[in-house]
């Protein structure tokens, strides 16, 4: 039996020891992080400043952008710091915080995406009751419920993960990830890992089933719209959400349903980069490219300012 120890620090063995590669990781993560923060901040600013976007759909989108900023801020800054400072150490408290907030923001993301599907369902299938069902008070309560569910799931997962004793402190990842941490436990972690996966799978399956049911009803009603323009307008509000949800569930499923004992460390790290960086970075781009109202608001607040600054520079010089 290995010695059972209570670790005060963990060693993140995520990236190479070669200094040039560490600096390359830092630059790559910095660019991805800044792009993600900027994109989501733009969404938040547009929704807050543009009165035409003060609707339930964009209110939930703003909450989604806040959760995405928190999601990518959990692990990427620490990874950048370790790469820049040529260290691999993370304290026990920081590791617990990473696990808690990663589950918190990820679960909040999932619930918000489910709520956004319900919003589209009510808007298209019950338009006469939309203002009554999705009034300001109801939207605030639903959004608050999403954040509370995220806190509950985060406490449950982090509590189950750190209630055991670790026999090693070498984490083969660039942040504290639950599947990699369970591999370090002294006892057989298969039962605990199975329980964590089952809980996450049930939650994801419940949200996925609700979204699929909602969109089946939505598409059935959209096909009944007589005009082609009306059908396109209805689908244009749903397509970005479907793309974002598919990206989120695909990368998350890869991360938590791949057997950790048979997954190579390099593959696990690539999957971790996909699900922790790609969805938060792509969500603002998907919504801005596929949504006419977001593009119009973007041009109104930033495009005109850019044109005005160019005209002023032309006049001055």
CATH number (domain holding residue 58): 1.20.1070.10
Model pLDDT, residue 221 = 83
Model pLDDT, residue 223 = 79
Got the DSSP string for the chain? -PPPB--SEEEE--S-S-HHHHHHHHHHHHHHHHHHHHHHHHHHHHHHH-GGG-SHHHHHHHHHHHHHHHHHHHHHHHHHHHHHHT--EEEHHHHHHHHHHHHHHHHHHHHHHHHHHHHHHHHHH-GGGHHHHT-HHHHHHHHHHHHHHHHHHHHHHHHHHHTS-BS--EESSSS--HHHHHTTBSS--HHHHHHHHHHHHHHHHHHHHHHHHHHHHHHHHHTT-SSHHHHHHHHHHHHHHHHHHHHHHHHHHHHHHS-GGGS-HHHHHHHHHHHHHHHHHHHHHHHHHH-HHHHHHHIIIIIHHHHHHHHHHHHH-
Q: Would 60 be classed as within a structural domain?
A: yes
Model pLDDT, residue 181 = 85
Instruction: Please give the average pLDDT of every successive group of 10 residues along the chain, which has 317 residues.
Output: 58 81 89 92 88 87 93 91 88 92 92 89 87 91 94 87 84 85 73 67 80 85 77 74 78 64 64 81 76 71 54 44
Q: Would 107 be classed as within a structural domain?
A: yes
Q: Would 1 be classed as within a structural domain?
A: no
Q: Tokens standing for 124? A: 């298209």
Q: Would 301 be classed as within a structural domain?
A: yes
Q: Would 36 be classed as within a structural domain?
A: yes
Q: Would 5 be classed as within a structural domain?
A: no
pTM of the model: 0.84
Got the DSSP string for 144-168? HHHHHHHHHHHHHHHHHHHTS-BS-
Model pLDDT, residue 316 = 40
Q: What domain range includes position 109?
A: 16-316
Q: Tokens standing for 316? A: 């001055």
Q: Tokens standing for 202? A: 């049930």
Is 10 within 8 Å of 92 (Cβ atoms)?
yes
Burial 95-133 (b: 16+ CB within 10 A, else e): bebbbbbbbbbbbbbbbbbbbbbbbbbbbbeeeeebeee
Q: Would 8 be classed as within a structural domain?
A: no
Domain total of the chain = 1
Q: Would 218 be classed as within a structural domain?
A: yes
Angle (CA) 175-181-186 rounded to 5° is 150
């Amino acid at each position: 039996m290995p010695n059972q120890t209570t670790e005060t620090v963990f060693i993140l063995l995520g990236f190479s020891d070669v200094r040039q590669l560490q600096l390359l990781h830092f630059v790559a993560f910095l660019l991805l992080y800044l792009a993600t923060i900027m994109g989501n901040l733009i969404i938040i600013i547009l929704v807050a400043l543009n009165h035409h976007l003060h609707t339930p759909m964009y209110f939930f989108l703003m909450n989604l952008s806040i959760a995405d900023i928190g999601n990518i801020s959990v692990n990427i800054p620490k990874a950048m710091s370790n790469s820049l400072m040529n260290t691999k150490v993370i304290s026990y408290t920081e590791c617990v915080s990473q696990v808690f907030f990663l589950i918190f923001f990820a679960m909040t993301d999932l619930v918000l995406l489910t709520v956004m599907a319900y919003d589209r369902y009510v808007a298209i299938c019950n338009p006469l009751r939309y203002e009554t069902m999705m009034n300001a008070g109801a939207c605030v309560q639903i959004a608050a419920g999403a954040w509370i569910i995220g806190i509950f799931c985060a406490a449950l997962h982090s509590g189950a993960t750190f209630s055991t004793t670790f026999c090693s402190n070498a984490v083969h990842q660039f942040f504290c990830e639950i599947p990699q941490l369970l591999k370090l436990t002294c006892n057989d972690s298969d039962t605990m890992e199975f329980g964590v996966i089952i809980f996450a799978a049930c939650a994801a399956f419940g949200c996925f089933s609700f979204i699929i049911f909602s969109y089946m009803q939505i598409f059935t009603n959209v096909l009944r719209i007589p005009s082609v323009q009306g059908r396109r307008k209805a689908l244009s509000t749903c397509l970005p959400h479907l793309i974002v949800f598919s990206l989120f569930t695909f990368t998350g499923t890869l991360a938590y349903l791949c057997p950790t004992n048979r997954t190579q460390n390099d593959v696990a790290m690539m999957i971790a980069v996909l699900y922790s960086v790609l969805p938060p970075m792509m969500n603002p781009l998907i919504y801005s490219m596929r949504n006419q109202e977001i593009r119009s608001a973007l041009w109104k607040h930033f495009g005109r300012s850019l044109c005005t600054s160019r005209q002023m520079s032309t006049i001055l010089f």
